Structure 1
Amino acid sequence: MADTFRLAAELGYDGVEVMVWNEAPTQDAEGLRRLTDDYGLPIISVHAPTLLLTQRVWGRQPWDKVDRSLELAEAVGAPVVVLHPPFRWQRDYARDFVAGVAERERRHDVRLSVENMFPWKVKTARREREVKAYLPGWDPLEQDYRSVTVDLSHTATAGSDALAMVRALGPRLAHLHLADGSGGYKDEHLVPGTGSQPCAEVLRLLPEVGFTGSVAVEINTRKMTTDERDAALVAALSFARTHLD
């Protein structure tokens, strides 16, 4: 986490989104507050550990994870918690998910923002088929969520119309994950402007739909060298500032 804050400050970012992960510093409110003070960067959002790879973080009970994420957000002053919809095998969690999210937003001064996802695609030698991976579904427009996060890599993978989604959400759009994708079956998280998504148009549309949230760069840098990673993060930040009004 210290490296994240240091790098964000050096490259000129305005804040940090914290992904709650296995590493203890991502879960430590006091340590996170010290980092915000040391680097002068607020935590703009907390991502709950609701990914496939974080199923054991903070136990196995999904609502416990959500509640602890809300508590962490309040403790560090983050106005948004991002979470994924339930996986299809989490049927009990999924059954009351929409109502549970709404009830928690009423109790907390934090927006509990459900992220758009995508159908999982399985390619075989003969054909490609879709797997229903999420309940009640991957498309947030099909549910009555008060707060939604739009991820532009996920719209690419899903084949969604990102501009139409942002327009339809209007003030329900609480948060944006800025990335890009080529439209294949993989969730790529490319640097914005290097894929097929209307990233610039989405950014320019935000004032029109009454957006008052934050934009978080979420790009994949795993296979990059340090210099390549820094250049990609600078390019993404420059793209955002060019097209944000």
Structure 2
Amino acid sequence: MPRIGLSTSSVYPESTAHAFSYAAETGYDAVEVMVGIDALSQQVEAVEKLIDHHQLPVCAVHAPCLLFTQRVWGIEPWGKLERSAEMATAVGAEVVVVHPPFRWQREYAAGFVEGIAALEESTGIAFAVENMYPWRASRGKVEMYQPGRDPSAEEYANATIDLSHAAIAKDDPVAMAERLGERLRHVHLTDGTDSAKDEHLVPGRGDIGADTFLHHLARSGFGGEVVLEINTRRCNSHEERLADLRESLEFAQRHLAATAVES
């Protein structure tokens, strides 16, 4: 089976340090570090100490390219990606997860596909570009990403599929995975419904078909990382958050293994 990791964003508003603790307690294989407003997530030495303390590897670094992390590590987008690659190299991760540019980042977007390829060549790190979704407005949907929200439509060497994003966009994640083939390097396992919100539900609580998607990964011999990226902000206690993280891990293990047994 692929290694199953936990994104540090899954325990927000708790810290990166708490995420490592939860991952160790529940039995995840690895951690994906979301570089964000938590100062610890921005510091290589701090992350290295967490790796050593919990004996858990970092499988990926998520670059600070969300709206609320626009000023983390400066405002120059290529500089952010270079620093993400430096962190990944330092902590032993092979993947940097990155979103496509917002459409108002015109210069960045114009050379994005070629720039990503150049960064992969120079750093040896896989920049797995993530699928995104149209924003919903009163007059309909607005495409907010350039050159596009679907990585299978571009010539990226590596891509990430996020199931919550697929749910908002009403994209079929299995069909997207088939289009990507071996270029699918990374997965954000979660769930969603036909909602305007990026829900990031515990897998199995939405209707995007997370179980079917995992079966496809197992049958196709997917060799990348499966990372749980869920929203636990409504959890009122450590025990409640722990239960959601444990349920998510068990869902991934069950459906990846079930297909192996069937075959």
State if a TM-score over 0.5 links the two structures. yes
Name which structure has the greater RCO, CA cutoff 8 Å, separation 6+.
2
SS at match of 1:18: strand
Aligned equivalent of 1:75, options 72, 90, 93:
90
Percentage identity across paired residues of the two chains: 51
Give the counterpart of 1:102 among 117, 128, 138.
117
Matches within 5 A, 1:46-85: 46-85=61-100
2:233 pairs with 1:218: no
Determine the C-alpha separation between the residues in 1 that align with 2:95 and 2:169. Answer: 24
Taking only aligned residues, the RMSD between alpha carbons, in angstroms, comes to 1.1
| Deviations 1:63-104 (CA, angstroms, capped at 9, x unpaired) | 000110001100000111000000010000000000000111
Unmatched 5+ stretches in structure 1? none
The match for 1:241 is: 253
Shift of 1:207: 3.5
Report if aligned partners of 1:120, 1:131 keep a CA contact under 8 Å in 2.
yes
Would you say the 8 A contact 1:177–1:215 is kept in 2? yes
SS at match of 1:244: helix
Q: Is the 8 A contact 1:193 1:200 kept in 2?
A: yes
Counting matched residue pairs gives: 241
Alignment check: 8 A CA contact 2:133 2:143 kept: no
- Report the secondary structure of 1:53's partner residue: helix
Instruction: State the shift of 1:134 in Å.
Output: 0.7
**TM-score, structure 1 normalization:** 0.95
Structure-2 separation of matches of 1:207 and 1:244: 6
CA distance in 1, matches of 2:218, 2:141: 35
Q: Name whichever of 103-112 and 79-88 sits farther off.
A: 103-112
Distance 1:93 1:78 in 2: 25
Q: 2:218 aligns with which of 187, 202, 207?
A: 207
What is the CA-CA distance between 1:109 and the residue it aligns to? 2.0
Identify the match of residue 182 of structure 2 among 164, 171, 174: 171
TM-score when normalising by structure 2? 0.89
Task: Kindly provide the CA deviation profile for residues 171-206 of structure 1, in whole angstroms up to 9, marking residues without a partner as x.
Answer: 100100000001222110001011111111111211
Contact 1:163 1:198 in 2 (8 A): no
The answer to whether 1:184 aligns with 2:199 is no
1:228 to 233, 240, 261: 240
Counterpart Cα distance in 1 of 2:218 and 2:251: 17
